[in-house]
Structure 1
Amino acid sequence: MYGYANHFRRLAFAGAALTGSVGFYTPLAAQESEPPGPTELGLVEISGDRYGTGIAQPLVRNRISTASQSLPTAVSTITEEEIRTLNVDRDISNIYRRVPGVVANNIDQGDTGNGFRMRGFATNGTHGADVAVSVDGVPQNIPSSQGGAGHGPVFLEWLTPQMIKHVDVIKGPVSALYGDQNRAGAVNIETLDGSDVASSIGVDVASFDGQRTNVVLGGEHEGLASLLVTDLYRTNGYRKAAENQRDNYFWKLSKVIGDAKYSARFSHYESDFRNDGYLSLPALKAGTVGRRDTDNLYGFGNANRNTYVFNRSPAEGEAGLYYTAYYEDFRRVRGISNGTNTHNYGKDDRDIYGGRLAYNFVYEDTASLMVGTDVRRDKGDAFRQQYRNFQPTQNFYYDFDMDLITYGVFAQGQYKPIDSLKLLAGIRHDRFDYDIDNLKFRDASTGYNSSVTTPRFGVAWTPIDQLELFTNVAQGFRSPAAEYISSGSSSALPLRDTGGQINGSVRPSKVKSYDVGFTLRPTDSLSSTTEFYYIQNDSETVQTSPGVYEQVGDTTRKGLETSVNYQATSTVSTYISYGRIIDAVITNPAPGIGARLVVPEHTYKAGVQYRDGFMGGQVTLNADAYHLGGIPYYVGTGRKTMPAYTRYDLRASYDYSDYQFSVYGTFQPHRYGSEVAYGTNSGLVIVPQPSTTLGASVRYFF
């Protein structure tokens, strides 16, 4: 059975912050008899420190390794220990709150996707597109979604913090292991094994009728590890019609057999929600509408997702065979109010299955080569229909029956000609084989075949132990959406046998990214990473006339990110980061829109953590600050600036014996500040945020 005392010593060495209803905790009763004392700890890890601690680990970019941290770019790793110190609450996107330069949030319209913006990509409406997200090797981006979430959205509401082992945020399309949507970068999430956790039950209550009950059953018997997580969440929300009921179930079995580790997992997610729409900022300021009111009809939706995954990896080291196989049925609907009595009702009803096969050849600490192939098939219906008075009409905005198959082959090699220098080179070739049946415009039904090749090259150099330099040039791509290939009027119209437009010349959109940066670790308690990037895209897909999409768009993105981690004392650690978008420009924008992308110019993040023994237990205090500024929006072609958005997160936890108690709060002082806002012809519309959200939790370990 799992060794609690040994696990606690491991966490203390790693500087783990043990807090919150969102985490696992080794009971103090299972420790040795000495009272808990000060331990070194850390809030976040930025690029290179795999273990998320305040203690500086050896620089790792020049290692021969498949780990994300070995890539010649900025990588942020979020560990399970760090997630415990965050106010995740109802939105799993909050796990990214401390990652430099990243803006991530649910759009506060129910379970409608996880927004993720990085490096000037992925505005609010794309829900994480342009970032390739995978969980245990399974791609999470949904191509050609019609549930009101665009092309390539990511839905991570099925995850709870108790399932996550670590999250790697990779800046830039540097790794050849990730395919479609890898333009801004990639996110790799790995789930926990049963041997990693202690069994527990937790209850959490929060403002606006937030209620969460969570049961974790983890353990190991004769080498078979099992993790079962049940999570039930309910809330009435801040706005009048904001309600959400979410159920998550997760079961994972893991076992080492011979020289391989095998795992099989099943997850079931379902939700049912209502949501208020957006409100006009001018009307809010004029007092003609209240912050908790509903504009027109309320929105609604539900989702159901079952996923089956089987993995194999080497039990020891990184050399050897890897494979992943998966299947999921994905059902999701969302009704978006778009009039006094109408909804834009979107539905995805998809069966998704695929896998990856790869082999990693390793020659000591000098060279490695991973070669592999992956395939994904996405088959099903995706449509948007007009609803009137909550009933379907005969009019459709889009209606596709799709069979989308993507094949990929990849290779990525690393070589160290000398001990301080590592070269990385990779290449991917991806092919798309689509069968698109356009039920709205039958004449636009078509097959589609295309392919794309994207190379990568990078260098990591460690001239001295305290300094690491890195640079890379890499290409990433995004597949074309079904509505780009088979298009027509987006107005609500009946299904017909004629009409529509086939744009067979549309190709995957490629970007080329240039990065240069460095990491400094002058002492064991201080580390800093700075990176500059320049991204070009001369093949952005734009609508050049009604129903016609072509690759004629040019975009340029320039920016920098810098971060500092400092272990001030054995009980206090701090971090601070700044992200700046210098340029995010469309060279040839479509008529009637602005020339600049809707991304924040400035992103500031900072925090401090205190952790020490107290009255026979352990107290952990966290304070985080988050600020967005300089976000443009457009009324026609006129450029304006959204209100600034600032958020403060406070959390206090006390661990005593087999119990863990936490209180937390989120404070947002700007009355009209919001992470979710859109420019319209009549002005800015926003989702109002509560100024204060409070919560408390208790967890019992057994």
Structure 2
Amino acid sequence: MKYFISCLTLLLLSQFSFSQSATVRGTVTDNNNAPLMGVNVLIKNTLKGTQTNDQGAFEINSLSNGDYILSLSYMGFKTQEIKFSVTDNQSVDLSTIVLYEGNEILSEVIVEAERRNKFSRKETAYVSKMPLKNIENPQVYNTITNQILISQSVNTFSDALANAAGISQLWSSTGRSGDGAGYYSSRGFAVQPQLVNGVAGITNGFINPSNVERVEVIKGPSGTLFGSTVTSYGGLINIVTKKPYNSTGGEITVSGGSNDFAKLNVDVNISDGEKLSFRLNGGFQKDNSFQDAGFKKSVFIAPSLSYKVNNKLSLNFSYEASGNEQTNETFLFLNRYGPLAFNSIDDLNYDTHLSFTNNDVTIDNITQNYRGEIAWKITDNWSSQTLIAGGLAKSLGYYTYLWNFADYTDPAAPVGTENFSLNVQDTDSRTKTLNLQQNFNGTFHLGDLENKLLVGFDYLDSKIIDNSSNWGYLHSINLQGDLIYGEPEISAENLRTALSGSGNVDSDVRQNIFGAYISDVIHIIPSLSVMASVRYDRFDYEGDQQTDTDDDTEYTESTFSPKFGIVFQPILNELSIFANYQNGFSYVNPQYITDFATGDVSLQSYDVEEANQFEIGVKSSLFHNKLEATASYYNINVDNKYYWATQTQDLEINSQGIELEVNANPIEGLNIHTGFSYNDSEITDSPSAPGLEGNRYGESGPEITYNFWTDYKFLKNFGVGAGFNGASEYDTMTDYKSVTGSFYIPSYTIVNASVYYETDRYRFSIKGNNLADTSYYSGWSTVTPQQRRTVLGTLSFKF
């Protein structure tokens, strides 16, 4: 009997093994017969999948008899589905499969377990608005992947951006009217995150990383393709949100830690595996300040839908709504109009545990962003993308700040004493945007020259209505918390009293921008390509502001913006040398100027500001993409820069520097991400304020920034991560130091580390931030103390 059972068992196991022995294999190329590495290959309605190797080949084993659908997806290329059948347990060879280029439409299913260099993700259709590999793109951009965010247990957008080479925080998000998003310095100029999925998006408040698939930091003046509204001369920040995929599953994440931090996130995707996919992502997050008062709370919900009408037509829609409540983070505004009584943190003698606020005094931000897309594959070589997007943001509540004021009781005292006045505004503003965009992408030949062509149009309408109060004064204090003058208690009731009779801003501003652009990448030979692009932009401004004239302001201006680039690949698809010329521009809103001699008020209009960058560098994707690196030198010149203090347009600025970014996978399980930047910025000419000449431009932040993170996974499920980021000392008053003297934000290095245990279903991690409990600061003519040491635990469950 035992012999019979053993034989039967062996027979059944052999039959099972035999029934699962079939294989499907193939090779994936683009339409130029170049192999595509890292293509995601998934058998629909199963958990079986892989990625292509450096030769474009793939193989999926252990298939039983039956009918299957193979889905192949790759960023910047059209997803393709192929039906095949397994009969008599015979393997299937699909030979060569060609993927055709097109806009980035769906978030593909990523088989993360098969990724070699997990911190590398350069494939994107947003940066050039056309499918262009990083190594053949003459523009520099940094990508912060979802894998980095997970490895670092990132819970704030500023922590995410700390991974981008050359990016430093100037201001954290204030939530105030008009410009409440955070400010960051890039290549010597301030930039805000104002691009979501390639179109204008409102980020006026806390950005929850739980709905971020990746962040793309695009470097240098980028007006040719993106206009002036969402860019700065140092670049722009594009937030790519999570989108539906073609299978059913999800993830639940809970976190807790220092300062009563708590987080819950639920992410669910439902798909019929064929045409319709729906994803719902939502969550709640809160934490308290390390100071004596202060908190942030955020809740968001983000549904998204994708419908594949057929192989040529896809419809996509995404929406995100968030509600944020926070106290005002401590901002010490240093006096700009006379000599300061201090020039360093030590001289300031600030007890950083004091917040100078109250948890009853808050500002609320309600934001909504939506994006609808029609993606149409006209032919194998031509595609169309039609976009409609928009947003709404509200700022409601009290915005306060501390201003370093003059000591008028002692005429001999420096203007900037150690005392600060608390100023307040009752904010009531809303911003509404509408963005329409149409892009056509095509590949064609003129003789032996291959052309990749982009033709596009966009229209952006934005309206800002501000019914906030004018500013009021509550009290004066020193930085040890002692009351100098005024009402001692910070409360909503006292702030209302301080604002009584102050009146309102009553501003209603509308901007309409129409842009048309064309970009052509010409492959002269496989290893040599050139890019030529140009944009026409027309700007219309209508303003109704509270002035003595009570007149509406109308202003129209237009400009052209060119862009050129060249790429040579001495090792095809592995090493490139590039150079670019990029242009950026900015429309300056007209201003009412008062002649103090006569009291007359007149309207002053301004020319368009211009920025021009020249850059040269090297990109690599060596050793089967185990070493991805970008190194470059840039030089940016800005003419006609408007200076707010004199209301004149005569500054000239030069900003130059070097940047390095490396993503490496030297051995199995070990991933490294690092970056370094040096920036030299100078105001080269300033006729209306000669004292500025030779100074570093105020938006530039520190000269040197650096970041490093490494993640090592061992024994299959265990892992450790460690890294640091920091910046050099810089003068936060450099724009004003001829009058005020300097104030130096000290250099810093922050050390972080994590340990984790991860399976296909679970991930548990413990992360320590600022392990040395370093005191450090940010500022832009301001001083803001940053987060001290925190410990965070995170548990994720996948289903």
Question: Would the TM-score normalized by the shorter structure come out above 0.5?
Answer: yes
1:695 corresponds in structure 2 to 792
Q: What is the letter of the counterpart of residue 369 of structure 1? A: L
Match of 2:495 among 387, 390, 393: 390
Cα shift readout 1:303-360 (whole Å, capped 9, x = no counterpart): 1112232112246977311111123222124512346564144443122112101211
Q: Shift of the alpha carbon at 1:191? A: 2.4
Q: Counterpart of 1:517?
A: 617
2:183 maps to what in 1?
115
1:260 aligned onto 2:313 = yes
Query: Max radius of gyration: which structure?
Result: 2
Structure 2 counterpart of 1:203, one-letter code:
V
Return the alpha-carbon distance in structure 2 between the equivalents of residues 405 and 37 of structure 1. Answer: 43
Q: 2:151 is paired with a residue of what secondary structure?
A: coil
2:150 and 2:53 map into 1 onto residues whose CA distance is 14
- Residues 667 and 639 (structure 1), Cα distance of their counterparts in 2 relative to 1, 3 Å cut: same
Which whole-Å CA distance do the structure 2 matches of 1:659 and 1:692 have between them?
27
Structure 1 residue corresponding to 2:138, chosen from 66, 72, 82: 72
Q: For 1:168 and 1:214, locate their aligned partners in 2 and report how far apart those are by CA, in whole Å.
A: 23
Instruction: Write out aligned runs for 1:235-314 (5 A).
Output: 235-258=287-310, 259-278=312-331, 285=346, 289-295=350-356, 300-314=362-376
CA contact (8 A) 2:321 2:368 kept: yes
1:505-529 C-alpha deviation (Å, 9 max, x unpaired): x133110010111124553433432
Distance 1:640 1:211, change over 3 A: same
- Counterpart residue type for residue 526 of structure 1: L
What letter corresponds to residue 591 of structure 2 in structure 1?
A: I
Specify the alignment match of 2:431 in structure 1. 350
Q: Which has the higher contact order (CA 8 A, sep 6+)?
A: 1
* Cα distance between partner residues in 2 of 1:593 and 1:663: 48
Asked if 1 retains the 8 angstrom alpha-carbon contact of 2:174 and 2:328, the reply is: yes
Return the alpha-carbon distance in structure 1 between the equivalents of residues 620 and 137 of structure 2: 16
Evaluate the alpha carbon distance shift between residue 64 and residue 210 of structure 1 in structure 2; reply closer, same or farther with a 3 A threshold: closer
Distance 1:668 1:469 in 2: 40
Q: Equivalent residue of 1:194, what SS?
A: coil
Correspondences of 1:134-533 after superposition (within 5 Å) = 134-140=195-201, 154-155=203-204, 157-158=206-207, 160-174=208-222, 176-180=224-228, 181-195=231-245, 198-221=249-272, 222-258=274-310, 259-278=312-331, 285=346, 289-295=350-356, 300-314=362-376, 319-333=382-396, 335-338=399-402, 340=421, 342-363=423-444, 366-382=450-466, 383=468, 385-388=470-473, 389-391=494-496, 392-395=499-502, 398-443=505-550, 445-465=552-572, 466-481=574-589, 484-486=590-592, 500-504=601-605, 506-521=606-621, 523-524=623-624, 525-533=626-634
**1:474 and 1:512 in contact (8 A); partners too:** yes
Q: What is aligned with 1:686?
A: 783
Contiguous gaps of at least 5 residues in structure 1: 15-35, 52-60, 123-127, 142-153, 491-497, 680-684
Taking only the aligned residue pairs, the percentage that are identical comes to 18
Tell me how far apart the structure 2 counterparts of residues 537 and 37 of structure 1 sit (CA, whole Å).
43
Shift of 1:639: 3.7
1:673 and 2:781 are equivalent in the alignment: no
Instruction: Deviation per CA, 1:367-405: give whole Å up to 9, x if none.
Output: 122111111111241356224532234436954211211
Question: SS in structure 2 opposite 1:405?
Answer: strand
Question: Residues of 2 paired with 1:191 and 1:43: CA distance?
Answer: 18
**SS in structure 2 opposite 1:208?**
helix
Match of 2:17 in 1: none
Match of 1:664 in 2: 767
1:5 is paired with a residue whose SS is coil
1:421-475 CA-to-partner distances (Å, cap 9, x unmatched) read 1111111111111110112443563111111211111101112334311001111
Cα separation, partners in 2 of 1:585 and 1:396, compared to 1, 3 Å: farther
CA distance in structure 2 between the partners assigned to 1:363 and 1:513 by the alignment: 30
Contact kept, 8 Å, 2:343 with 2:742, in 1: the verdict is no
Match of 2:720 among 621, 627, 634: 621
In structure 1, the partner of 2:638 is 537
Aligned partners of 2:136 and 2:576 also within 8 Å: no
- What secondary structure is seen at the aligned counterpart in 2 of 1:72? coil
- TM-score, structure 1 as length reference: 0.81
Tell me the SS of whatever aligns to 2:154: coil
Q: CA offset at residue 87 of structure 1?
A: 3.4
Unaligned 5+ segments in structure 2 are 1-42, 57-110, 335-341, 403-419, 474-493
* Distance in 2 (alpha carbons) for counterparts of 1:309 and 1:38: 31
**Against the structure 1 CA distance between its residues 214 and 422, is the aligned structure 2 distance closer, same or farther, given a 3 Å change threshold?**
same
Shift in Å, 1:228: 0.4
What's the secondary structure of 2:785's corresponding residue? coil
Q: Secondary structure at the match of 2:245?
A: helix
CA contact (8 A) 1:241 1:276 kept: no
Give the residue type in structure 1 aligned to 2:637.
Q
Distance in 2 (alpha carbons) for counterparts of 1:63 and 1:216: 28
C-alpha deviations, 1:658-686, integer Å up to 9, x for none?
32211111116475422x2244xxxxx53
Mapping of 1:88-99 within 5 angstroms?
A: 88-89=154-155, 91-99=156-164
Q: How many angstroms apart in 1 are the aligned matches of 2:453 and 2:547?
A: 47
Contact 2:223 2:584 in 1 (8 A): no
Change (3 A) 1:562 1:586: same
* Aligned partner of 2:150 among 84, 96, 101: 84
Deviations 1:270-316 (A, max 9, x none): 11111342359889747965221134778631111122321122469
TM-superposition CA deviations, 1:152-206 (whole Å, max 9, x none) = xx53634x33433333222123573211134222333332322168312221112
